[in-house]
Chain A
Amino acid sequence: MKSCDSQQTDLQAVPTPAPIPPPHAASRGPRGARRKWEVFPGKNRFYCGGRIMAAQQSGVLPLTLGLILVTTGLFFIFDCPFLVKHLSSCVPAVGAVLFVFVFITLLQTSFSDPGILPRATPEEAADVERQIDSSGDSSYGPPPRTREVVINQQVVKLKYCFTCKMFRPPRTSHCSLCDNCVERFDHHCPWVGNCVGKRNYRFFYTFIVSLSFLTSFIFSCVSTHLAMRAQDGRGLVSALQESPGSAVELVICFFSVWSILGLSGFHTYLVASNLTTNEDIKGSWSGKSGDVASNPFSHRNVFVNCGSVLCTPLPPSLIDRRGFLPEEEEPAQTCCTDVQLPASANNTQRKCSQGRKGLLESAAPSPLQSTSCPQGEPQTVPPGPRRPSPADSEPTRQASNGCRAQHSAGSQGNASSARHSHHKSRMKKHKEAALSISNPTSHGPVAPTCPDSVPTSRGTSSTQA
């Protein structure tokens, strides 16, 4: 501590270079300052300096990309020359436009922030804990971890997220695969390798709609092509022999067009009624009266619902991946070794001495002491850029197994889940062959997860933590 203080007086003699800009601007870049994506607590991967993000497991995304590229490539190589000659030259043009749409929207869905809510700061978490404790009666057991709010004359329960240490806003769910709370959580899609939430739902919807157009288009073109070849009296078999690529395309398109068309139809219904997959599967709004119109977020008008889901101004990413970490959050143990930093680090030194005091007065619950130096938030300053903590995988494993059971039990009558399970059975053999993960997340391409079941199991297992 003494060396810290003496460093402090030395550095204070150096004038501060410029007026301090707002904390989340990226204009200050002292050596050693890290960007926020490097200490992001969720299970995400970042590329290009934080500009591109993806879930930790890419799921079946390579397969999705591969299938789309292979099918479209074969289409252009085998079918287009014939069809341009015998039908029309706008066939490849339409195919190209659809392919570009599909490819761009797929990349946008996979690599953008789905609407992740950053975790609460230690002071906020302490404040919420205080409120919970003061509202509960300690003699009746643990204090309530739910809040009720009335939205459009309907009572909506807000649950407390033990991982993110905050009450989740309505329609927000915690994704156990990505370990993040996602706003307007729809589902975690293994096909795109990312969660689908408020910010990327429109990309996802455009992706599946354009993919259904592309698949149907290729399917009809290939059928036309083979029919025209076979018509010349040579028969279907010789037509297939002449154009083997078309056979491959036919098989792929035939099996995928039904699922994708069904999925697009399902999501069109969800968009029109302003529902999420998560809410639809859990029956959040159709419980008691059995009436879907009791969704408090629906505008009761199909066009307004579509507009509010697809056309609202795109909200910004709240996690500020490329922002620099404020110096108060640098770890306590290294702040005294960073004495080579330029003058703007004089705060770090002062906070360091305050933080040491905080360490010694560890019993004091005052948020002030614990947050001046970041030992208050050890989980956000990990040893490396990605930190899936081993402690988390246990509750996740239990939760996702329970989740799977819940899904298969609860989704019998649901047409969409029938399609998902069709996917599951078809793709299971591919998955098991291609991916040898013993990870809890390898539970097949079940599109929706049950993130709300996770906090309860987390809660029971991690309240000691």
Chain B
Amino acid sequence: MAETHSLQDLRHQAAVIAKVFIQRDYTNGTLCQFQTKFPSELETKIDKQQFEETVRTLNNLYAEAEKLGSQSYVEGCLACLTAYTIFLCMETHYEKVLKKIAKYIQEQNDKVYAPRGLLLTDPLERGLRVIEITIFEDRSLTQ
């Protein structure tokens, strides 16, 4: 609870200094992957290893969402047979993984990024184009 309270403080009381955008990495085609290159604006704020690990985990989660395996074939055939009406009742595999991703980002924000005055925005809110990292003004979070 204390962590979410400080996250709220960050969003509503601290001033935004800058926003860094991690762009998509298209070298594997249209799969949703983000570049792991460490942006220079974050050099003083966070550890490079920590950042790369976050982005790599996100990339793995997105790859899992779009994975083409036997399960997705079965789901696809079943959906086709029902004229895709099961999409109205069932949550798709992609949506399930997106929920996992949202939880992961929330957890990373609470544990790693908020204490350093940073905030990760879920790429889904930006149309899966970028990971937006907001850098907040460095002031004490407790008032």
Say yes or no: A310-B80 contact (C-beta < 8 A), given A151-B27, A316-B95. yes
Q: How far is the CB of A16 from the nearest CB of chain B, in Å?
A: 8
The answer for the CA separation of A101 and B65 in the assembled complex, in Å, is 28
Q: Determine the residue in chain A with the shortest Cβ distance to B15.
A: A368
Q: Is the CB of B85 within 8 A of A104?
A: yes
Contact with B along A122-154 (1 / 0, CB 8 A): 011001000000000000000000000111100
Q: Are B29 and A152 in contact (CB under 8 A)?
A: yes
In the bound complex, residues from chain A placing their C-beta under 8 Å from that of B77 are: 311
Most buried by B among A121, A150, A170: A121
CA of A75 to CA of B79, assembled, Å: 28
Given A120-B129, A316-B95, answer yes or no on A127-B19 (Cβ-Cβ < 8 Å): yes
Taking CB atoms, residues of chain A closer than 8 Å to B92 are 313-314, 316
- A-facing residues in B27-43 (Cβ within 8 Å): 27-30
A438 CB to closest chain B CB (Å) equals: 34
Known contacts A19-B8, A22-B102, A23-B125; decide if A170 and B30 are in contact (CB<8 Å).
Answer: yes
CB pair A313 B93 closer than 8 Å: yes
Complex Cα spacing A303 to B106, Å: 39
Q: Within A367-407, which residues are at the interface with B (CB < 8 Å)?
A: 367-368, 372
Chain A residues positioned under 8 Å from B80 (CB to CB): 202, 206, 310
Interface size, chain A (Cβ < 8 Å): 52
Residues on B with C-beta less than 8 A from A319 are 127
Closest B residue, CB atoms, query A126? B19
B84 contacts A206, C-beta separation under 8 Å: yes
List 26 interface pairs A-B (beta carbons < 8 Å), by A numbering.
A22-B122, A24-B122, A24-B125, A100-B83, A117-B129, A120-B129, A149-B26, A169-B24, A184-B30, A206-B80, A206-B83, A297-B30, A307-B72, A307-B76, A308-B68, A311-B72, A312-B68, A313-B75, A314-B87, A314-B92, A314-B94, A316-B124, A319-B127, A367-B18, A368-B15, A368-B18
Q: Which residues of B contact A (CB under 8 A)?
A: 4, 8, 11-12, 15-19, 21, 24, 26-30, 65-68, 72-73, 75-77, 79-80, 83-85, 87, 92-95, 98, 102, 106, 122, 124-130, 132
Besides A183-B30, A312-B66, A313-B66, 5 more A-B contacts (Cβ < 8 Å) are A104-B83, A108-B84, A169-B24, A206-B84, A307-B72
Interface residues of A (CB under 8 A from B): 19-20, 22-24, 100-101, 104-105, 108, 117-118, 120-121, 123-124, 127, 149-152, 156, 158, 166, 169-171, 183-184, 202-203, 206, 296-297, 304, 307-308, 310-316, 318-320, 347, 350, 367-368, 372
